Amino acid sequence: MSEERADERVDERVDAVELAGAVDVVGAYLDGWRRADQDAVLATLAPDCTVVEGHGPVYRGVDRVRQWLDAWFSPGNTVDAWEITSVTAGPMPADPAPRPDDAGPAGGPEPAAGVGTGTVPDAADGGGPVLGVALEWRFTCTYGGNRTTFDGATVARVRAGRIVHLREYQTSGDLYDWTGTWRT
């Protein structure tokens, strides 16, 4: 390998401290939910973030996320438990493949800088490496008087210490060991 190419690879590396910081930011987001601390949740998000819930809603920007939190945390709604069962993190390309939820609706807001656009802003603009964090979890909440528990996953992209994109996935049924037939 040429010396020049080796230097490029060193520059591309993301150190363990940066990765741990990205995991901590996503952990702080979840902890804010656990404590019903809306300001703590919002403090983890980039101003132009996108948050996608597992059942479909997409929230673009911190103002829309704030509206969602206000509605979600109405009296009687609680996050009763959010247990993280696994975590992984690593660097992501500057231009992850565009997704429909990143692009914004026709006439809607543009995607967050560095998300599906092929660009990452300069450090002065909050740029830097885009770090990916994936978590698996078990979630229990009381919403509208109904208590529910399900397994799910969060996939997040973190840049400059803030979440620029977070997408949640949830199971649609109870997990079970398959023994030759499917449950219906």
Domain ranges of the chain: 3-170
Beta strands in 61-145 (DSSP E): 78-92, 130-143
What span, in angstroms and rounded, lies between the C-alpha atoms of 80 and 67? 21
Is 139 within 8 Å of 85 (Cβ atoms)?
no
Distance in angstroms between the alpha carbons of the first and the last residue of the chain: 55
Asked if residue 176 has pLDDT above 80, the reply is: yes
> Which CATH architecture best describes the domain 3-170?
Roll (3.10)
Model confidence at 173, in pLDDT bands (50, 70, 90)?
confident
**Cα–Cα distance between 35 and 166 in angstroms, integer?**
19
pTM value is 0.77
- The whole-number pLDDT of residue 158 equals 96
